[in-house]
Structure 1
Amino acid sequence: MDHISNSTLVGVLIALIVVSAMFSGSETGMMSINRYRLRHQAKQKHGAARRVLNMLERPDRLLGLILFGNNLVNIFAASIATILCTRWFGDYGIAISSLGLTVVILVFAEVTPKTFAALYPERVAFPMSAILKPLSYVLYPFVWSVNMISNGLLRLFGIQTGDDQDEHLSSDELRSVVNDAGKMIPRRHQDMLLSILDLEKVTVEDIMVPRNEIIGFDVNDDWKVLSRQLISTSHTKVLLYRDTIDDAVGFVHSRDALRLLAKSEFEKESMLRAVRPLYYIPEGTPLNVQLLKFQRNKERIGLVVDEYGDIQGLVTLEDILEEIVGDFTTTMAPAPSEEVERQDDGSVLVDATANIRDLNKELSWSLPTDGPKTLNGLILEYLEDIPDANVSLRIGDYTIEILEVADNMVKQVRMLTRTGKKRLI
């Protein structure tokens, strides 16, 4: 190259550094691009996205192409830099070219383009794919040879590179994606998506109406009393039973009662004929499973039973939907709970029959939910006894003062999230 001028070699060296920067940036851009957004764009028939997605199906070939080209360019650049520095600095040229070119390549052909590509992967990957795609055909023999050797080495360690390995997200990973969506998904929609993912962790016991709160009517009562109760009830479906709730008859729809009333056929016998069969739900059934069962069986309400067949509570389709979208109210803001009363001193008066999950959601608390479902049950489990009033205890970061005990259960407590309260047990 003695006959080539220095200015020409400098121009070629600059061009090689630029090409090296393009290869380096394309490597980072291709590998860091959002695969899910890329698949969506490909389905929308975005040409560059489809091209990039096709190349990413074989990352070993893509990396082999990029690294082969990048190393080839860097070696040529090193040779030219050595020639130039030898001409300029004589015997010191090799050392100067090695040090100088290392800094130049590191700054201009590695760190800068890769940082830009990491920040804006699509702006790098899309245009570079138009260059890399035809280049992959031109350099195919060289890339194939390199990949064959490298893949052979990987197989020695038990790593298979030829298998099509689709990316699958676990529910926890998908939850992180939703949380990280930021402004791309409205906060309320994020909450709904997260609630859907949480359905598998919540069982019917967590949301059911407890047995002692089920509204039902005894069919053995006097017909006049029973008919008034059926007509005046505010519930769409009412449970009918004989003497006790364990001898449940079925649900009657208020619409059927009104239809019989309109036809002057509203008698006990006709009302019993209109009763709909009972639908039972085993306790411990996850909500995502129960939602599908409601859909499959065309049901909207069911009785939760334990392993002995005893009725423990009642669950409706609306209860499950409220776990996803929140309470059905006339406004978007949640209605204040009747079970919670905030005090001026920062404490909270709580009905001890309140569901722990509801308290955690309403007050942003973190009371344990892997045991009892109600605050009363949590206190009794912790104390292993039925306490008297004016007893305090601490569960985690929560100081609980028992205010009222009746009917063998805690009725009302005062709660503080501050530490340092006097502990009496």
Structure 2
Amino acid sequence: MDAKYTHAREERIDFMNNREKKSSSSSRTLGIIFGVLLAIIIAAVTAFLIWFFVFKEEKKQSGLLTSPSKRVFSGHMKLAQVNYDEKLEDTSSQEFRDFGEKLQQELETLYQTDPLLTKYYTKSVVTAFSEGVIAYYWSQFDIPATDLEMLPEFSEERILDALESGIQKQRRGIQPNDVKIIEITASATDSRMARIPTEEDCFYRLEAEDVEKMFQSPGYPSGYEAKTRCQWQIRAAVENTVIVNFPNFDIEDDCTDDFVSIFDSLSPDYSQAITKQCGQRPPSNPLEVVSSGNIMLINFITDSSVQKPGFNATYKIIPKIKAQTCGELLTGSKGVFTSPLHPKFYPPAVDCKWTIKVPEGSKVRVKFNMFRMKEPGVDVSNCHKDYVEIMDTKYCGELSSLSLTSETNVLDVMFHSDESYTDKGFTAEYTAFDPKNRKMNLFLY
């Protein structure tokens, strides 16, 4: 091969120094990173826009898309100078409508003592009446998006202050035939439970009697739908309490989405809530609740798309004296006692005292085989709501075991439940304990 041909086929080769190599590598890396970030940003923006418009459309179709932030408070008003009429129990009666509208106007006037509440006040709705005369209501305030910094101002304390100030002002100018409000309560309420009984579907008024009756969630047992809003008002004669048993209970596990909320009232007032439940309960451990008086309110709320069977329930009366009678003098070498109506949930607003007395020279040993008095937001080191008190110490919450020995042959066991949130309570057994008998001591342990 001649030299001329060889020269023509030669290729030029350039060598890069280290600095140039690093620069080129960095450029390629930056380009790759930028491309990946750009792709992530585009995907995120696309996903957000899809979510936003789908979410907006779903909210629009469900009627939940509103610009203001809603705050709802509920409670009851105890009235004077009013003769009770049973027609007030019928939400379709003219008497209910007329008296309800009168009290709704009165509530609007009461809120006028607070300029902030007046500015955002939307409406009040009277939902029921009971003997006493007691009217049950809820009030709504809508805060627009431009004023959301005002939300913390809408507290229960502020609402109550305004109502009580308005009542004091009202009393100074009250006329002989005017309705007089002598007591009022207000509690922050889940707006999904704010119902208008004269307009809503899935709103029921039930009368409890000696004979067991039944009601159930919509669609049971095939399954309930999302966005269900149901309410049952249960009443009984004044000398009775209401007991409701849920032999079948299976709803979604998340209590923020789907739940049953039960009240010792005809208003969804959390200061008088008996319990809030979700999930599944086996038939061997049914949910059974009892009111302190002759009324009860049950709400069924669903938001999730998870389809569950729901529940069926029975209701009847228990004489008030039976539901609220508890505590006694216990003698003998051993025995058993329980919280009121166990294994049902104990009623609200009950106080009991058991005095256990064993022979002289012995002491009392008490063992709680089951102990459950759980309540939302309660510090178990304080036990300021529901509790068992023994030897000046209060016990609450859920305890796997609790055994105590008295200092003498007499031991007092006190049980207290307040007006809100009840539970299964306890079962306990006691035994006479002879401190001088070692064999007996070993046997008891």
Q: Which is richer in strand? A: 2
Same-fold status (TM-score > 0.5): no
Q: Could you say which structure has the greater relative contact order, defined with CA pairs below 8 angstroms and 6 or more residues apart?
A: 2
TM-score of the two chains, using structure 2 as the length reference: 0.23
Q: Which of these two proteins has the greater Rg computed from alpha carbons?
A: 1
